[in-house]
Amino acid sequence: MAIDVDTLQKLRAEPEVQKLDLSWLNIDENGHPWGVRAKPGKRGLTLDEIEIGAIGEVPEHSDNRGVRARGSVPRPDAPRIPGSYAGRADVYSENTRLLYEEAVQRQWSSATDIPWAEIQALPDDIERAMCQLCTFLTEVEFIAGDTPGQWLPQINSEHHEVKLFLLTQIMDEARHLDVFRKRAFANGGGLLSSLPQDGLRVIIEAKDFTEMSAIMHVAAEGFVQSMFRMGEYIGQNDAEKRIFRLCGQDESRHLGFGVMHLKYVAENEPWRREEIHHYLDKVEQTLAPDPLESDGANFALFEALAILMGGGVKNIDKGINMSMAVQKKRVNEYMHRLTVAGFGDRRERMRPMLKQFLDN
C-alpha cells in the first residue's frame, strides 16, 4: 500500500521538540520549604521522623479535594475527588503514626509463625467447640477487614496517616480470617454454625467514620480482644495459644486507634457527644441481646466458650460460671476504654444487660 506524499514528508521531517518547562525546579523560590532533612531515629526512619516542619502539621480543615499529598505544591487544574472528609476531627487519632509503624514492624504469617504440628487429636466436644468459635471469628474478621476499606476513599489525602493505619488493619484482619479458618480445618473438624449477623451488619452499615470507629474499634473489637486475651486459658495446645496471642497483639492497635479517635472528637467537637452515645446505643443492643427475643443460635458462641473453659460438656456448669466472669471483665474493660476517651458518663447510660456486670 503506497504512502501519500504528505505523510511521507511528515515522516522525513525533523520531529518538533517540545519546549521544556522546568519551573518545578524553582518551587522553593515561592516559599516552599526546602532543605529540611529527615534523619532516622532509634526506630528507623518512621513517620515521626519525616513529618517535620510545615509538612508535619496536620490541618484542622482542608480544602484539598484531590489526591495531592500533604506538603506538595497544589495545581489549579487538579480534578476533584468527591466525598472526602475535610475536617481533621472527622477521622484523626493522635496515635496513628505510632500505630502504623508498629503494625508494619509486627506483621506475622499464619503459615509459618504458628506451630501447627503441635495440634493433636482432641475430645469431640472440645474440637467442635473450638471449631464453632473459629467459625464465629472467621465471620467477624470478614467484616472487620471489609469495613475499613469502605472508608479509605473518603479520607482526605491531607490525613494520609489514617489511610496508612487502616491499610494495616485490613491486612491484620485478613490474616486473622485466614488463621481461624485454618484452625477450623487443621484438626479434622471444620466450620460449623453461622451465627446471627445483626451485630456485624451494624458495623458495615455505619454512615459516618466516627460511627464506624465507635461501633467497630471501641465496642465490637474490644469484646473480641477480651476473647483473645483468654486464649491462653481456652487454647488446648501451643498453636492455639499462639494464635490468640498474635491476634490480640494486632487487635490492641485497632482498639488504640478507636479510643484515641473518640477522645480527639470529644475534645475538639464536644457538641457531638449525644451523636456518639447514639452509636453506642446501637452497638450495645447487638452485644447484649434480650434473651427473650433470641433463638438458640445466639447462644452457640456462649455455649462453645463454656465448653472450652470448663473442659468439656460434662463440666459446662463450671464453664458457664467462668464465662460470666469473663463477660464481667469484658464489660468493665469496655467502660474503661470509654472513660479514657472522655465518655465516663456512659456508665449511667449503658444498656442494662451490660450495665449489670459493671463494678461499682
Query: What pLDDT does residue 200 have?
Result: 84
* Residue 318 CB contacts under 8 Å (≥ 6 apart), including other chains: 309, 310, 311
The burial class, CB within 10 Å (0-12 / 13-18 / 19+), for 117 is exposed
* Structural domains in the chain (count): 1
- Would you state the pLDDT for residue 290? 63
Model pLDDT, residue 85 = 87
Q: Is the pTM of this model over 0.85?
A: yes
Cell numbers at residue 281, please? 446505643
For residue 267, being part of any structural domain is answered with yes
Q: Per-block average pLDDT, block size 10, for the chain (360 residues)?
A: 69 72 70 74 86 79 80 80 83 94 96 96 95 94 94 90 96 97 94 82 93 96 90 91 96 97 96 96 85 61 92 93 90 96 96 92
> Residue 299: what pLDDT?
80
All residues at 6 or more sequence positions from 248 whose CB lies less than 8 Å from its CB, including other chains: 225, 228, 229, 231
CA atoms within 13 A on the CB side of 292: 1
- Assess if residue 142 is contained within a domain: yes
Question: What φ, ψ does residue 311 adopt, rounded to 5°?
Answer: 90, 30
Is residue 12 situated within a structural domain?
no
Per the DSSP assignment, residues forming a β-bridge with 121 are: none
Is residue 221 included in any domain, yes or no? yes
CATH value at residue 126: 1.10.620.20
pLDDT of residue 54: 73
At 114 the pLDDT is: 97
Is residue 319 situated within a structural domain? yes
- Domain assignment present for residue 15? The answer is no
Q: Which residues contact 262 (CB under 8 A, 6 or more apart)?
A: 210, 213, 214, 218, 276, 338, 341, 342, 343
Place of cell 496536620: 58
Q: Within a domain: residue 280?
A: yes
One DSSP character per residue, 97-142 reads HHHHHHHHHT---TTTSS-GGG-----HHHHHHHHHHHHHHHHHHH
> What range defines the domain where residue 347 resides?
88-355
Contact 197, 142 (CB under 8 A): no
**Is residue 19 domain-resident?**
no
